[in-house]
Amino acid sequence: MDRKRRTMDGSGIRQALSMMNERGSGEGAGYVAYGVYPDYRDCYALHVFFDNVRENKDVVDATLEQWGTIEHDEAIPTYDQPNLRAVHTPWRYFFKPDPSLAPASTSPEDDIVSALVMRVNTARRGALIFSSGKNVGVFKAGGWPEEVADFYRIEDYEGYTWLAHNRYPTNTPGWWGGAHPFNLLGWSVVHNGEITSYGTNRRYIESLGYTCTMYTDTEVVAYLIDLLVRRHGLDLDLAVRALAPPFWEEIDRMPEAEREWNRALRLTYAPAMMNGPFAIVAADADTMVGFTDRSKLRPMVVGECADRLYISSEEAAIRAMEPKVESITMPAAGEPVIGRVAP
């Protein structure tokens, strides 16, 4: 992330991610960049995987037009790679929802778009919306990081915050939808590890109107952050604390006022708490946050260099991107590292 919103093209992060090929299996990788669509900054950029453009696109067009205006849409430019079999056609829409269609809502546009995402993805009619925020785009596919980067020519995109992920899938190998980052509206998430509380988290988030459609544990993180931050208005660090709370032993030792709100947080968000090994980096247009599980079972390294904040599984990846990095730290378990861009 660049805190001054100075953009970086995708070549740096491509380079960084390829440093960690040992962690992947060549079956999925992806990137997300904030600030990539300045010309359509007021539109929701919907990235869609079509199984078949001819068969499946009409339905999505019709649904979107029912709820707002499509300002522009096009195929996302891709470039054939020898080892990457293009099983989907990536498409993008720049969409403006009609707020008068959700009069009861305090954030009608967000609500319409998130409902549309859930609807299209649950319908499973050969279309999957995998990116839905403003001025942000997810680019992912099955393959090694470099192949996916080259497939999208990631160096052609300019963003001030980038997340990238290299996957070693156990659940849904090869499925493009299963690759990270996961995105809903503003929030994107990459995740290393396995969430053992997934069943609890998913049932909780689904009971509050979200629908999990990606067959993988990471998407609940995006929804949980959306719930806690956007819908419940919690500060990001408090939201992270709800997801990876302190142990009761620690809470018991806190001074009273602190103990009370920590207890309240754990009780209220017990089903949101995430268990198992994980390191997660999430971002929205203004923020980037990295945190690990409360037992610190996955690695996380933080680097800083002037206005730039880097979070990675390995220091090497940070140094590959920024050889002059000024500080390297390892945050404590459950402790969020938060970067914010200047307003």
Partner 1 sequence: MTIGSLPSRYRISIDPVRCMECERCIENCPYGVFRRDGDRILVNSRNCTACHRCIACCPRDAISLEEHPCDYRSHPIWTREAREAIYNQARTGRIILAGMGNALDYPVIFDRLVLDACQVTNPSLDPLREPIELRTHIGKKLAKLDLRRRENGDIELRTALTPNLRVETPIMIGHMSYGAISLNAQMAMARAAKETGTFMGTGEGGLHSALYPYQDRMIVQVASGRFGVNIDYLERGAAIEIKIGQGAKPGIGGHLPGEKVCEEVSRTRMIPLGSDAISPAPHHDIYSIEDLAQLVRALKEATEWKKPVFVKIAAVHNVAAIAAGIARSPADAVVIDGFRGGTGAAPRVFRDHVGIPIEAAVASVDKKLRDQGIRNEVSVIASGGIRGSADVAKTIALGADAVYIGTAALVAMGCRVCGNCYRGLCPWGIATQRPDLVQRLNPDAASEQVANLIRAWTLELAELLGAAGINSIESLRGNRDRLRGYMLDESLMQVLDVRQVGA
Instruction: Calculate the alpha carbon distances from 74 to 46, 127, 156 in Å.
Output: 11, 15, 16
Q: Which is nearer to partner 1, 156 or 235 (CB)?
A: 235
Tell me if 105 contacts partner 1 by CB under 8 A: no
Measure the CA–CA gap between 267 and 328, rounded to whole angstroms.
35
> Is residue 99 a contact point for partner 1 (CB under 8 A)?
no
Distance of closest approach, residue 197 Cβ to partner 1, in angstroms? 3
| CB of 106 or CB of 207, closer to partner 1 | 207
Residues 125-184 that bind partner 1 (CB under 8 A): 170
Q: Is 256 in the site for partner 1 (CB under 8 A)?
A: no
Distance CA 258, CA 267 (A): 14
Nearer to partner 1 by Cβ, of 157 and 210: the residue is 210
Mask for 212-231, x = binds partner 1 (CB under 8 A):
-------------------x
Give the shortest CB-243-to-partner 1 separation in angstroms.
11
Q: Which of 12, 108, 277, 331 binds partner 1 (CB under 8 A)?
A: 277
- Residue nearer to partner 1 on the CB measure, 58 or 260: 260
CB atoms within 10 A of CB 7: 16
Residues 6+ apart with CB under 8 A from 165: 17, 29, 30, 31, 140, 179, 180, 181, 190, 191, 192
The residue type at 191: H
- Kindly state the tokens that stand for 20: 């960690």
Phi-psi domain of 103 (left: phi exceeds 0; alpha: psi -120 through 50; beta: other) = alpha
Distance CA 179, CA 90 (A): 14
- Interface ranges with partner 1 (CB under 8 A): 170, 193-194, 196-200, 202-204, 206-209, 231-235, 238, 247-249, 257-258, 260-261, 263-265, 267-271, 273-277, 294-295, 297
